[in-house]
Chains A and B, each alone.
Chain A
C-alpha cells in the first residue's frame, strides 16, 4: 500500500546549525511532495513543495531535495533557529485521481540555544 515515512523520529540540533530531515516514500505514482511544520497545539503549516519532475527546490532558509531513484525526500533548514522547533511531516499526493495528502509519521526537531 502507499505510505510515507520518516527515517528518524527526533532530531536535536544547536541553534545556528543546519538541519536535515529525511523522508522515505513508497508510492512511485506520487508526483507532488510537500513538507509541513506543526507546532505544538497547532495545525500543520505548509513549508515548501516539490514536483516529481524536479530534484531540488529552494525557499527562504529551506531546501527540499527529491531522489526518485531511491524514493527519498529531504528538508534542509539553514541556520536553524529556536522557532524552527516543531514536528515536520512530509506528504505526498498525485496530480490526478485522489485528492488526499498521505502524511508520514513526522520528525520532531528540537533546537537547543
Chain B
C-alpha cells in the first residue's frame, strides 16, 4: 500500500498520560499536514511541514501538542498530559504541492479516546 499510513489506528488513554501518533506520508510527498476531526465536524488544521521544517501552526495547537518531522519523511504528533477534550480523530495528510495546486492525500486517522 503506497498511501498515507497512520499508527496506531486507535488509542485509549487515561487523562494526564502522554500519547504519540506516527504518520508515514506518500514517499515522494514533501508536504505533510496534521488535522484533528471531532464527531460530526470537518477536519481542523493543526500544523504543516515542508520537508523537515514546520512552517505553520494553528492556534488549536496548544503547548501540550508537539509535532516533528525530523528527516522530512515520517512525522510524529505528541500530546502531553492528555485531557478529555483531546478525544478526536487525528488525521495526517501529505501532498506534493500546496493545496491550491494539488490534492491532499489523507490517511485513515488515529482515533484518540481520553478517559
Task: Mark A residues whose CB is within 8 Å of B.
Answer: 4, 9, 31-32, 34, 41-46, 49, 89, 91, 93-96, 98-106
Determine if A89 and B56 form an interchain contact, defined as CB atoms under 8 angstroms apart: no
| Given A31-B100, A32-B100, A43-B91: A102 touches B45 (CB 8 Å cut-off) | yes
Selected contact of B93 from candidates A32, A41, A43, A104, CB within 8 Å:
A43
Min distance, Cβ B32 to any Cβ of chain A, angstroms: 11
Total residues of chain B contacting the partner, CB 8 A: 26
Determine if B104 and A106 form an interchain contact, defined as CB atoms under 8 angstroms apart: no
Determine if A99 and B55 form an interchain contact, defined as CB atoms under 8 angstroms apart: yes
Selected contact of B103 from candidates A42, A49, A96, A104, CB within 8 Å:
A49
Min distance, Cβ A93 to any Cβ of chain B, angstroms: 5
Q: Mark B73-108, 1 if CB is under 8 A from A, else 0.
A: 000000000000000000101000011110111111
Determine if B40 and A99 form an interchain contact, defined as CB atoms under 8 angstroms apart: no
